[in-house]
Amino acid sequence: MYAAAKDAPFDYICRYPILGASGHLGPKLREGDNQVPEGLYRLVLEPNTPYHAALRLNYPNSEDVARAKADGRSNPGSDILIHGTEGSVGCIAVGNAASEDLFVLAYDTRSKNLPLIVAPVDLTREPAPPAQSTDPAWLPELYVELKAALAELTDGQSKSVKKTAPEKSAAQK
């Protein structure tokens, strides 16, 4: 996770492990494929969830809709969350303590659209996953975009992990 004060560069804050995600490397293409989307998204608070605490991705965004239309796909999917608990079908499960931290941090920013980069790996440190015959033609271009977005965050930053997420959530303190 990276954060920035107003008009300041982003700083690395901590890392939250993903405890559950379904599917395989590669983007979400349709409703029910159990894939986690890959792309540049925005987050909003999702207070009404059965998954402890959650943030909702704006998936599908305009790029996802345009890619689906170009591919002839009619339903790219919906309802993607970063949430508590440890299991997931298409969402990103980070556990209850981490989901509380993220929810409180998002609430405290008072922002209605927090940026989120979802990539299969840290593309500033590792190459993109090898191409598969079933990958859409636009996937390499998406990985270039994600790598550039990640590089903006990490430009001039230490690439080492400074600290891990706290064991207790902000709500428990």
Q: What is the pLDDT of residue 36?
A: 95
Question: What's the mean pLDDT in 74-94?
Answer: 93
- Judged on CB neighbours under 10 Å (0-12, 13-18, 19+), 126 is exposed
CATH for 97: 2.40.440
On whether residue 157 sits in a domain, the answer given is: no
User: What is the SS3 assignment for 71?
Assistant: helix
For residue 166, what pLDDT band results from cuts at 50, 70 and 90? very low
Question: What's the mean pLDDT in 109-117?
Answer: 84
On whether residue 126 sits in a domain, the answer given is: no
On whether residue 159 sits in a domain, the answer given is: no
Q: Could you read off the pLDDT of 58-78 as tens digits, one per residue?
A: 999 999 999 999 999 999 999
| Residues facing 57 on adjacent strands | 43
On whether residue 162 sits in a domain, the answer given is: no
On whether residue 150 sits in a domain, the answer given is: no
Q: What percent of the chain has pLDDT over 90?
A: 60
Q: Please give the residue range of the domain that contains residue 28.
A: 24-118
Q: What is the pLDDT of residue 41?
A: 96
On whether residue 88 sits in a domain, the answer given is: yes
On whether residue 158 sits in a domain, the answer given is: no
Reading the block at residue 140, the tokens are 């390499």
Overall domain count for the chain: 1
Write down the pTM of the prediction: 0.83
On whether residue 109 sits in a domain, the answer given is: yes
Q: Where are the alpha helices (DSSP H) in the chain?
A: 62-71, 96-109, 139-154
Q: What is the mean pLDDT of the chain?
A: 86
